[in-house]
Structure 1
Amino acid sequence: METKEKILFQALKLFNQFGTKDISTNHIAKATGISPGNLYYHFRNKEEIIRFLYQKMREEIGFEDLALPETLCDMMAYCKYVATVWWRYRFLKKELVILMQKDPLLQREVQQDTKMQYEKLLQLMEHLMEKGCIVPLTEEMKHHLANTIALYSNFWILFLQTFGEDVSQTMALDVSKEVSKALLPYLSDKAVKELNKCEGV
């Protein structure tokens, strides 16, 4: 593993464990086993490290180049995969709004991605209707369902934190179940059977 990747690996561990506020570049350098000067050779500041981690997360998710799923099972499998990626980068899910306020470059990236992802969700609604997986929806209902899925996707971990308990990986990954439940009232009978089959019901 090259030094730059080691820095990102250790930064991710520290941010997930302690949050970004209490972790400095000196902490990251020490955990990596390098001098602060060596760290600054690779990254200008902590904000740049956070941006690189955000970019790594979005690359792992691969949402931008993702083809629309052929089946509901494919869609739910992808939801579960995305949830595992989010868990690996969970500090971003917990702190993203605050981090965006501190870093205009990160803010611009996140806003662009959010708009792109929302358009993908609307395309998904159309795709599922065309395949007979969900009942015909009005424009208002398409946006409502896309909003619901987006809210679960982006704020599920934050919601769990409001209960004042430590959020476990199992709890965080339950977001895919919540998305499934949100879709359920709009699924065709055929789609419900398919969903139950792929979920082992």
Structure 2
Amino acid sequence: MKTKNRILQTALELFNEKGINEVTLRGIALNVGMSQGNLNYHFRTKSEIVSELYYNLVEEMDEAMKKITLDQPVFSLLYESSLVSMNILYKYKFIAQDLHSVLESNSELKVHYLALQKMRKQQFLFLFQNMIAEDLMRKEELKNEYERLYERMNILGDNWINSANLFFQERSSKVAHYHSLLFEVIFPYLTQKGKEQYLKSL
């Protein structure tokens, strides 16, 4: 493994275990087995390491989504894509655990994250409209109801790890339980046809 990748892998493990604020460049270097001077040749600051790991997360997420077959029933697609996303997010769980501080301390990451969220919101709203057209979801009964549904899904998607760390010890049960919670959010908005297809996807 290349030195830069060893640094990133070690930093990821330490950030996940201790949190960003408790990890120093010196500590990362010590765990890699090098001097801080050698580490600084690759990364001058801890923020640079966090940025690299953030973009690695985004890249892994994009690559995983490309591998998911799009020509499958919509609920199977949603089920698979959300499970893949949550497993990758758990791999980089320190970002979700300290999302606010990560974004507030790095304006470039904040701009990227907000643009990413805006794009995903439009994708979900487009998906909801298609599901309404296919009689899988009912029409809105409240103003901006499905924009607010996406917002609730997004809040749960970004913050489930902190809750999971408090209530669950086993990694597998964390991901499985909170994946079910997130996937079930959509169920009350489905038509009878949608509910039948949803249940078949489980």
Do they superpose with TM above 0.5?
Answer: yes
* Counterpart in the other structure of 2:182: 179
How well do the aligned residues superpose, as a CA RMSD in angstroms? Answer: 2.4
Q: Aligned to 2:139, which of 129, 136, 139? A: 136
| Partner AA of 1:77 in structure 2 | E
CA contact (8 A) 2:7 2:32 kept: yes
SS at match of 1:174: helix
CA contact (8 A) 2:121 2:150 kept: yes
CA distance in structure 2 between the partners assigned to 1:95 and 1:110 by the alignment? 14
* Counterpart in the other structure of 1:57: 57
* Counterpart in the other structure of 2:105: 102
In structure 2, the CA distance between the partners of 1:173 and 1:93, relative to structure 1 (3 Å rule), is: farther
TM-score (ref. length: structure 1):
0.87
In structure 2, the CA distance between the partners of 1:53 and 1:69, relative to structure 1 (3 Å rule), is: farther
* Counterpart in the other structure of 1:120: 123
Please tell me whether residue 198 in structure 1 is matched to residue 187 in structure 2: no
CA distance in structure 1 between the partners assigned to 2:140 and 2:72 by the alignment? 19
Q: How far did 1:103 drift?
A: 2.0
| Identity in percent | 23
CA contact (8 A) 1:157 1:167 kept: no
After superposition, the C-alpha distances for 1:49-74 in whole angstroms (9 at most, x for unaligned) are 001111111111119x8669742111
Moved more, 149-158 or 167-176: 167-176
TM-score (ref. length: structure 2):
0.86
SS at match of 1:62: helix
Q: How many residues align?
A: 197
* Counterpart in the other structure of 1:151: 155
CA distance in structure 1 between the partners assigned to 2:35 and 2:153 by the alignment? 44
SS at match of 1:61: helix
Moved more, 99-108 or 47-56: 99-108
CA distance in structure 2 between the partners assigned to 1:93 and 1:58 by the alignment? 13
| Partner AA of 1:48 in structure 2 | E
SS at match of 1:55: helix
CA distance in structure 2 between the partners assigned to 1:42 and 1:68 by the alignment? 43
- Unpaired runs of 5+ in structure 2? none
Q: How far did 1:157 drift?
A: 1.9
CA contact (8 A) 1:68 1:127 kept: no
